Amino acid sequence: MTTYILDQKDRPMRDLRISVIDRCNFRCSYCMPAEVFGDDYAFMPEDQLLSFDEIVRLVEIFARFGVEKIRLTGGEPLMRKNLHDLIARIKEVDGITDIALTTNAVFLVRQAANLKAAGLDRVNISLDAIEDEVFQQTNGRGIKTKPVLKGIEAARDAGLEIKVNMVVKRGMNESQIVPMARYFKETGDTLRFIEFMDVGNHNGWNMDEVVSKKEIIELIDAEMSLVPLAPNYFGEVADRFRYKDSNAEIGVISSVTEAFCSSCTRVRLSADGKLFTCLFATHGYDLKEMLSENQSDQDITAYLYEIWTGRKDQYSVDRAKYNKKRGDKIEMSYIGG
């Protein structure tokens, strides 16, 4: 039986994002800068990661509170071995209607068909530039766009629904906004622009480096006329637009300049089983510990109820209050995007 619950701001719990690994093959400067995440960086040992059994058990409990959508993320989720097995098991959970994956797509060529067959519905593919020289800089590993574009092709061939996500940071890749729009208008894939956010503590975030939704839309509209579209559902994070002369869509995720905390229905699980009620949280609730202490589903359910019904987070609305820095936020690679 499903028990719908609301937090202190009347927001239901709908989407669970699960980080399945904290490692990544990229070193994007705004997320896992190479200077911080170097060769000697202490990533989680494998036995610290939630096992597939543990993840599935938690998904079953969350589903009883009305969670319908699962997003697997990381780190780079395709670096977790046998991810398709996890997807197949989540697919079987009562109440779960949608399974999505956020990935940089480099390993997708080999895995797309298996993932689709296991029950994956959608992929969000991160790509911050269409020109190699810019992309090689942004990913911090000198990787060209070709492996990502091949990954997108593989996802399309496998029948997965695709969205392409581009983080825009001034001084890094704003030159790519219009070229990316042109490219994906042609392929027909939905492209979404994400405002550079102050997640974690290591990306040196500065408001001056945020290219606003308004600026992004103006730049594209000057060359390819856009019309706004209504949201698809309550809590959709991207504001949607369609080109006047085609059915291709773009979206902008304006979490900095137009915060959308009031409709945030997302809850996040780190790869080592800590629960976070906000992307900008400083504190997580240890569910792995409860699992390893053999606590019952009832105990975990009661704990989740207490956490969600007490939730007040609205960091992006209150951003100015935090005076730019709160110093001890969870890293994006840990909590998952």
Residues that bind ligand SAM (CB under 6 A): 24, 30-31, 73-74, 76, 102-104, 126, 165, 167, 194, 196-197, 199, 203, 332-333, 337
Q: Kindly state the smallest distance separating residue 299's Cβ from ligand SAM, in Å.
A: 31
DSSP string of 302-327, one letter each residue = HHHHHHHHT----TTTTGGGGTT--S
Q: Could you tell me the smallest distance in angstroms from the CB atom of residue 266 to ligand SAM?
A: 13
| Complex with ligand SAM: residue 171 or 310, whichever CB lies closer | 171
Which residue, 314 or 333, is less far from ligand SAM as judged by CB? 333
C-alpha distances in angstroms, 272 versus 22, 36, 261, 290, 307? 9, 20, 25, 12, 18
Nearest distance, CB of residue 112 and ligand SAM, angstroms: 15
CB contact set of 283 (below 8 Å; sequence gap of 6+): 276
Amino acid identity at 146: K
Cβ closer to ligand SAM: 180 or 197? Answer: 197
CA atoms within 13 A on the CB side of 194: 19
Residue 305: CB minimum distance to ligand SAM, A:
29
From the CB of 290, what's the least distance to ligand SAM, in Å?
26
Q: Which amino acid is at 249?
A: E
Measured from the Cβ of residue 314, the count of other Cβ atoms closer than 10 Å reads 18
Residue 337 has, within 13 A of its CA and on its CB side, a CA count of 28
Task: Return the residue nearest ligand SAM (CB atom).
Answer: 337
CA distance 292 to 45: 16
CB of 197 to ligand SAM, least distance (A): 4
- Which one, 102 or 277, has the nearer CB to ligand SAM? 102
* Min separation Cβ 196 and ligand SAM, Å: 5
Q: How many CB atoms lie within 10 A of CB 148?
A: 25
Spatial distance between the Cα atoms of 140 and 203, rounded to a whole number of angstroms: 13
- In this structure, what are the phi and psi dihedrals at residue 124, rounded to the nearest 5 degrees? -105, 120
CA 203 to chain centre: 17
**Cβ closer to ligand SAM: 203 or 316?**
203
User: What percent of the residues of the chain are helix, what percent strand, and what percent coil, each to the nearest 5?
Assistant: 35, 20, 45
Give the shortest CB-301-to-ligand SAM separation in angstroms.
Answer: 29
> Of 312 and 327, which CB lies nearer to ligand SAM in the complex structure?
327
Q: Which is nearer to ligand SAM, 50 or 304 (CB)?
A: 50
In the complex with ligand SAM, which residue's Cβ is closer, 304 or 337?
Answer: 337
